Amino acid sequence: MENLIANFNYVIVVILMMIGLWSMLAQKNLIKKCIGMAIFQTGIILFFISIGAKRGAKVPILTGDEAPVVEQLANPLTQILMLTAIVVGVATLGMALALAQKIYRQHASFDEDEILENQRK
Amino acid sequence: MLLALLRAVKGPTVIDRLVAINVIGTKSIVLLLFAGILFGQLEMFVDIALGYGLLNYIVSIAASRYYQHRRCLEPEPPAGREAQS
Amino acid sequence: MTEQLPIIVILGPLLAAILSAFAAWFRPKWSHPLVVLGLAVSCAAALKLVFIVAGEGAQNYWLGGWGNQAHDYVVGIQITVDSLNTLLLAAVSGIALLTALYAKRLVDAELAGRQRYFYALFSLLVTGLLGIGITGDIFNLYVFMEIAALSSYVLIACGKGRAYMAAFNYLIMGTMGACLYLLGVGFIFVKTGTLNIDDVSTLLPALGQAQALFVGFVLILLGAWAKMAFFPFHGWLPNAYAHAPTASAAVLAPLATKVAVYAMLRIMVTVYSIDYILDSPGIQSVVLLLSSIAIVVGSFFSLTQTNLKLIACYFVVSEIGYMVGGAWLANGPGLTGAMYHVVADAAMTSALFMAVGCIVYRLGQAQLNDLQGAFFKMPVTMAAFVVTMAALIGVPPTCGFFSKWYLIQGAAQAGVWHFVAALLLSSLVKAIILFRIVEIGYNRVPHPAVEGNPAIPRNEAPLSMLIPTVAMALGLIALGLATSPLVNTIISKALPDGLAP
Amino acid sequence: MMPSLPIWQFDLPLLVLVVLFAVVALSIRNLMGAAIVFGAYSFMMCLIWAGMGAVDVAFTEAAVGAGVSTVFIVSTIYNTSATMKRRPGGMAFKLFIGVVVTVAGGFLLSALPDFPDWGDPNSPVNATVAPYYITHSIPDTHVPNLVTSVLADYRGFDTLLETVVVFIACIGIYSILRIEPARTSIDETDEEIAAPASYDPTDSLIVRQASRFMVPFMQLFALYVIAHGHYSPGGGFQGGVILGASLILLAVSFDLKFLLSRWREKSLMLLVATGVGLYAAVGLACLFMGGNFLDYGTLDAVLPGKQDMARSHGILLVEIGVGITVMFSMLAIHINLASNGRLERGL
């Protein structure tokens, strides 16, 4: 239990990912799938950011001339990785939405089952 | 903020949702600056707060524009109101 | 200049894509030659690297000059060409070059008016695949994976009709795979604190059997499997590739899945180690069982299809089972077979899709029943097709025989008999399909050479498509004949210590 | 062992709130509501990251995740439909997926005891490679914002590829939506796609004047964000997105035609490629000056200053490239998504 509280953020990460994964796989609506995908991605970003956080650290921007103290600045590396992940995420989301619009133009529906029925005809 | 979320979920009108989300956005800016004070590096957080406010404005405009086009600035039809949770 | 070769492999197609995106608005005709030029540069560099690696060993390159000169660990991004990936790089860039030449006519015919960015996206896809092959940084691999994935979604969606839904499903599956991979990277990163593959592999043994590392390993595997359409995740592949434009399928089917298999091999062999796999025997037997099922399922569905494109897609599904199974046998011959099969299967699938593309180009579609008299209409294409099928079945002088030989040897050594049975079954199924096609295409119409029968007009595919197809089919035989030098000088060096023969 | 600083108490309730928002965004049945709640979810996330000291990530999330992607979702719904059909059945499948996901979650949680404590400064992540960046950024690159220096220099290759990803998204969405605007039968007759509004929505004087007044300031602010990225949070991505958003604001508050009369589509798409091209060209220049790809240090012959200053200027150059690409691709993606690829009228 002690461990659970000290690592509360990881628990939240896992919950967010379960929500995202569930809606990517189980939801029938394409837009909901897209939103689920975005939530899954934010879960992962949260994971990386929280492993790079330091207790009592400042933002990783140096001020003044004194030499930087490693313990007092948050980890920049995980932040870079996640900047990349965010941008990749929005690119994927945009593309998914474009495909969804195109599918809607064909089938007049966002419902996966209905689209599959349409395709079988 | 929870109260605003409740309005956003329940509707019943889109105006409620728009205003609720705007309230959440504004509160977030305050919280962001609060975080900046806690860090003792307020100047770093002002930039983000500014960007945040601008983007929040655009989202609100886009959303209201959507409703304006759809001419549905009235209580939504029952189909759209089945909010759960 | 040779020390810059690794980056040139990537830069060729990347710059070609950017220039081709410019050319698309001013001189649309230039975008194809530009891409061919970029791929040719990359292919030349990759071939040169094969010889350098065979002679001198692994080549490292530090982007931005940030090596480990200033620190115990690499602080920048490293790209590496070693004996595990050099053949793959040469195969990917070579096949991509041939496919680019081959695709011109198909694109003009199938995508008329919509091909503005086709070549740019084609080139970016190849950039992504080459990048996955060459990078020495597990996060950089994720970014390359997304580049390849995003461009392949568009290449698939260029097809009409059902292609959009197929692309959407692929997008959901592919993003899930990439996210799982990224999460796995996160779990490794938590325990090691570095992303460089070499540094991770030196740090990992000291950490032993930590649960976080195990979870990370499984997550990365799941991610790679979703990307490569391994058995429980194979649902997206046949739809996506069968409804994609033929030109896109000809580059995606041979390369995209193989590169994902390579990524899995890299994680298994270099980042973790074979000992790690042998220490967790439960998952080994599960994976072997899954790969046998994948082979059987792929073969079974390929028997039930009547469309040549779909048959070829299910072949891809079953071939994935070969490679994953071979890798998880975790012994010398099995790993050799898997590494060799990655290259051989890329070539075989490419030849297969090229031949199918020629048939589609002339006959309009690829239903089996439309093939009547195809052997007389397009004899050269069908000859290439038969050679390719022979390679897939595993007839001796072709490369397919040798990879299967190593795989069966490895399975026998490990005593995994269901895998041997699945391999033989899949050969049998492919032979049945080949005979069915010969029966329809050759026997079902009256033989035109016999007096009194109607002559069947020759209607061969255009030369710009025929030459790459034939070259690829001949390449299968050449690759088969070159097996022993390749295995001895390169692949055997990639095997972990203790497993080399 | 609970974290000791107030900043951590600040995060805990937010984390719970975020999960709540995620659940709400997925369970709300009106898609428009879902999109709006999702936007709020992203804003919450941004707060959390600011709380963990990741200001640049928070900035990017506010600009990209919350702002622009919400606009994208809204414009997609605008072109399609916001209602969800309720269908019977399918519960077994949902339950099955639920079980699978729960098992997966349990598997992930099994690694929990292995993790270092939240915020431990001596965990491997914080103690292996990261200290190098913190101590060497100033001597190596003369950039006080560590995020900028790592982003554009130490891991500059990642950033080049990230720009390429944005570029792919832009030309990909163009290829999917814009080319072949075939009109199927359901295209225009669909009641869901509203007929032209009964009055011209661009009549809204307040919105129009307010936006017109705001745009130059937004652009000025965005240029400051790009140029000042060496010293404060921000950089090419954030600035580029805000620049793009300022133009999106014009498109939304006036209409698409107004925007396209100023920016032709061709020049948009060419500028997107120009940005990536600039980044790659800086890298190539390093190659020709005798260094490795993206080794800005070798540019000291042409750029003012010594090696560290050359790196600093190189970073500025590539940030400008990133800014150009991001700005125009966000705009190009928006105009295609908002008008369903027809560029006639739209959100």
CA angle D49, A45, A55 (to 5 degrees): 45
Token duo for residue C60:
């490292």
Give the per-residue pLDDT at A5. Answer: 64
The pLDDT of residue B75 is above 60: no
Q: For residue range A62-76, what is the model confidence (pLDDT) as tens digits?
A: 776 666 777 778 888
Residue B81 lies in a domain: no
User: Which tops the pLDDT comparison, D64 or B76?
Assistant: D64
Residue C377 pLDDT more than 90?
no
Which of D282, D293, A58 has the alpha carbon at shortest distance from C134?
D293
- Interface probe, candidates A58, A83, A86, chain B, greatest B C-beta count within 10 A: A58
pLDDT-based confidence at C172, cuts 50/70/90?
very high
pLDDT at C130 over 90: yes
Q: Which helix (H) or strand (E) holds B28?
A: helix B14-39
pLDDT of B85:
28
pLDDT value at residue D188 = 43
B65 in any annotated domain? yes
Cβ contact (<8 Å) for D85 and A56? no
Give the model confidence (pLDDT) of C270-279 as tens digits: 888 888 888 7
Given this model, what pLDDT does residue D39 score?
85
* Residue D26, domain member (yes or no): yes
Interface touch C172/A37, C-beta < 8 Å: yes
Q: Is the pLDDT of residue B38 over 80?
A: no
- The token pair at D107 is 């598997």
Burial category of C200 from C-beta neighbours within 10 Å (exposed 0-12, middle 13-18, buried 19 and up): buried
**D169, D52: one domain:** no
Total domains, chain D: 2
Same domain, D293 and D170: yes
pLDDT for the residue D11? 74
Looking at the predicted structure, is the pLDDT value of residue D215 above 60? yes
pLDDT of C122 reads 93
Q: What is the mean pLDDT of residues C40-50?
A: 93
Res. B82: pLDDT tops 60: no
**Residue of chain D minimizing CA distance to B31:** D47
Touch test B–D: 3 Cβ pairs or more under 8 Å: yes
Which DSSP string corresponds to C307-337? BHHHHHHHHHHHHHHHHHHHHHH-SHHHHHH
pLDDT at position D195 over 70: no
The pLDDT of residue C92: 93
Q: Is residue C360 part of a domain?
A: yes
β pairing state of C78-81 and C59-62: antiparallel
Name the domain count of chain B: 1
The confidence band for D314, taking pLDDT boundaries of 50, 70 and 90, is confident
What are D118's two structure tokens? 């939240």
Of C299, C327, C325, C324, the C-alpha closest to C313 is C299
Q: Into how many domains does chain A fold?
A: 1
Which residues 10-49 on chain B approach chain D with CB closer than 8 angstroms? 11, 14, 17-18, 21, 24-25, 28, 31-32, 34-36, 38-39, 43-45, 47-48
Instruction: Kindly indicate the confidence band of residue D193, based on its pLDDT and cuts at 50, 70 and 90.
Output: very low
Nearest to D266 among C25, C140, C195 (CB): C25
What average pLDDT does range C382-389 have in this prediction?
91
A37 and C161 within 8 Å at the Cβ level: the answer is: no
Which ipTM score applies to this complex? 0.92
Residue D145 β-bridge partners: A61
Whole-number pLDDT of residue B69 = 67
CATH number at A92 reads 1.10.287.3510
CA dihedral D312, D314, D316, D322 (to 10 degrees): -140
Nearest to C171 among A47, A81, A95 (CB): A95
Query: C307 - beta bridge partners?
Result: C367
For the cut 80, the answer to whether the pLDDT of residue C219 exceeds it is yes
Q: Which pLDDT value is given to residue D151?
A: 86
Q: Which of C174-183, D197-206, D235-244 has the lowest mean pLDDT?
A: D197-206
Of residues A61, C178, C195, the one with CA closest to residue D143: A61
The mean per-residue pLDDT over the stretch C152-171 comes to 88
D262 and D336 housed in the same domain: yes
User: What's the CA gap between D210 and D232, in Å, rounded?
Assistant: 28
Do the domain assignments include residue C436? Answer: yes
Establish if A35 belongs to a structural domain. Answer: yes
In which domain, by residue range, is D42 found? Answer: 1-81
- At C451-494, the pLDDT tens digits run 777 777 777 888 888 899 999 999 999 998 988 888 888 888 88
Place of tokens 């009369």: D261
Q: How many distinct structural domains can be found in chain C?
A: 1
Q: Hey, which residues 184-243 in chain D have their CB within 8 Å of chain B?
A: 194, 197-198, 201, 204, 207, 211, 214, 218, 221, 225, 232-234, 238, 242
Asked whether residue D58 carries a pLDDT value surpassing 70, the answer given is yes
Residue D146 has pLDDT above 60, yes or no: yes
D184 vs C187, residue with greater confidence: C187
- State which residues form the domain around B27: 2-75
Residue C302 lies in a domain: yes
Q: Give all strands (DSSP E) within D260-310, no chain letters.
A: none
Res B14: pLDDT? 66
- Whole domain around residue A41: which residue ranges? 2-56+71-120
Q: Which domain holds residue C397?
A: 279-501
Least CB–CB distance from D57: residue in A9, A49, A95: A49
Band (pLDDT 50/70/90 cuts) for residue C123 is very high
Is the pLDDT at B68 greater than 80? The verdict is: no
For residue A118, pLDDT over 90 is answered with: no
Same domain as D150, residue D70: no
Best mean pLDDT range from A102-111, C214-223, D23-32, D247-256: C214-223
Share of chain D above pLDDT 90, in %: 13
Best mean pLDDT range from C15-19, D184-188, D190-194, D259-263: C15-19
- Residues C404-418: pLDDT tens digits? 999 999 999 888 899
H-helix or E-strand spanning residue D74:
helix D69-79
Write down which residue in D66, D81, D96 finishes a domain: D81
Mean pLDDT value of segment C28-32: 87
Instruction: Tell if the CB–CB gap between A31 and D5 is shorter than 8 Å.
Output: no
Please report how many Cα atoms fall inside a 13 Å half-sphere around the Cα of residue C107, on the Cβ side.
Answer: 27
Residue A63 belongs to a domain: no
Residue D237 CA to residue D218 CA, distance in Å, equals: 15
Q: In angstroms, what is the C-alpha Rg of chain D? A: 23
pLDDT for position D4: 43
The answer to whether residue D135 neighbours chain C at the CB level (below 8 Å) is no
Q: 3-state secondary structure string, D172-217?
A: HHHHHHHCCCCCCCHHHHCCCCCCCCCCCHHHCHHHHHHHHHHHHH
Q: Which token pair is D207?
A: 């919105």
- Cβ atoms of C180 and C226 within 8 Å: the answer is yes
Q: How far B73 CA sits from the closest chain A CA (Å)?
A: 23
Q: A51 falls in which pLDDT band (50, 70, 90)?
A: confident
The answer to whether residue B41 scores a pLDDT higher than 90 is no
Lowest-confidence range among C131-145, C288-302, C358-372? C358-372
Residues D153 and D38 in one domain: no
Is the pair A, D in contact (3+ CB pairs within 8 Å)?
A: yes
